[in-house]
């Protein structure tokens, strides 16, 4: 009896979490007369890909995706590179000191990005990097560095001390040790950190909005939020929902595949704050 109740509750939780997403997909698959029909049609009578096609043919949505890929990819690479250097250095310190430095970094990580938009803009404007991929990549790397350092440091610490000695014997330079031994050995952590950083960058909004204001440099979230028409009656809701679906499906697939590690990464990342 209790079990049944629990199952019902669980079903409700799933419905609550997934409903907005399902509704978006359903709307995206409807032809436009069904999108704007009253009373609301729940299951599309005819499936149509018209909306998804329009998103690409009528608007520069492909360009937005490219921008997002460049920025999120670049930022992920830069973050992982710098974070491994820092984590590698932290490993050579004693644990107490390393933890203190990390705490300092993590305080920075908790600041809401909306409050960082102005400082980032001022600095990047001085460097003439506004509207430049590299500017946004720098900002994202800075934003995600504390989290990545945390994850990598934890992974590097687990590697035994003897490994260093053996590497030293074999004539590895410190960088050689990092790139040829530590990083390959920590591949699982590196990849999960990379995936999470990528998702954070893919999803980020306010910095993308302020640091890349020209229309050709919009990332996907900014592009979608600007998709509205000139008036209430012109908003292309079918296309907007198609765009939302296309942006969210890759994220969901990644999460589905890597579920367990994502949860672990997220909790360790959050817990240590």
What distance in Å separates the CA atoms of residue 71 and residue 202, rounded to the nearest whole number? Answer: 8
Please report, to the nearest 10 degrees, the dihedral formed by the alpha carbons of residues 209, 211, 215, 221 taken in order: -30
SS3 272: coil
CB of 94 to other proteins, least distance (A): 16
Q: Output helix, strand, coil percentages for the chain, rounded to the nearest 5.
A: 80, 0, 20
CB of 111 to other proteins, least distance (A): 7
Q: For other proteins, which is the closer residue by CB, 190 or 195? A: 195
Q: For other proteins, which is the closer residue by CB, 1 or 232? A: 232
Q: For other proteins, which is the closer residue by CB, 181 or 255? A: 255
Structure tokens at 122: 């001022």
- Yes or no: say if 139 and 130 are a contact pair by the CB < 8 Å rule: no
Q: For other proteins, which is the closer residue by CB, 56 or 134? A: 134
Structure tokens at 31: 């032809």
CB of 31 to other proteins, least distance (A): 14
CB of 146 to other proteins, least distance (A): 14
CB of 180 to other proteins, least distance (A): 12
CB of 186 to other proteins, least distance (A): 19
Q: For other proteins, which is the closer residue by CB, 21 or 48? A: 21
Residues 6+ apart with CB under 8 A from 200: 140, 143, 144
Dihedral sign from CA coordinates of 235, 239, 245, 248: negative
What distance in Å separates the CA atoms of residue 265 and residue 193, rounded to the nearest whole number? Answer: 7
Structural Rg of the chain based on CA atoms: 23
Q: For other proteins, which is the closer residue by CB, 57 or 115? A: 115
Structure tokens at 231: 């008036």
């Amino acid at each position: 009896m209790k079990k049944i109740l629990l199952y019902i509750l669980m079903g409700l939780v799933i419905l609550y979490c997934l409903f907005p997403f399902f509704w978006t997909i359903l709307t995206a698959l409807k032809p436009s007369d069904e999108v704007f029909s009253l009373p609301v049609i729940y299951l599309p009578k005819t499936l149509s890909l018209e909306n998804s096609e329009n998103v690409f043919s009528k608007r520069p949505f492909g360009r937005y995706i490219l921008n997002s890929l460049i920025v999120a990819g670049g930022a992920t690479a830069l973050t992982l590179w710098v974070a491994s250097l820092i984590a590698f250095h932290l490993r050579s310190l004693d644990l107490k000191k390393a933890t203190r430095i990390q705490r300092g970094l993590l305080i920075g990580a908790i600041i809401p990005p909306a409050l960082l938009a102005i400082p980032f803009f001022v600095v990047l404007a001085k460097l003439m990097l506004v509207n430049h991929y590299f500017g946004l990549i720098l900002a994202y790397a800075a934003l995600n560095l504390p989290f990545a350092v945390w994850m990598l440091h934890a992974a590097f610490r687990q590697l035994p001390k003897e490994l260093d000695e053996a590497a030293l014997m074999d004539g590895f330079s410190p960088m050689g040790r990092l790139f040829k031994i530590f990083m390959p050995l920590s591949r699982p952590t590196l990849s999960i950190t990379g995936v999470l950083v990528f998702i954070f960058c893919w999803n980020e909004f306010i910095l993308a909005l302020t640091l890349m204001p020209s229309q050709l440099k919009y990332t996907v979230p900014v592009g979608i939020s600007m998709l509205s028409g000139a008036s209430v009656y012109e908003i292309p809701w079918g296309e907007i929902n198609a765009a939302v679906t296309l942006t969210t499906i890759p994220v969901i697939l990644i999460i589905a595949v890597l579920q367990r590690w994502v949860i672990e990464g997220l909790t360790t990342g959050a817990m240590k704050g």
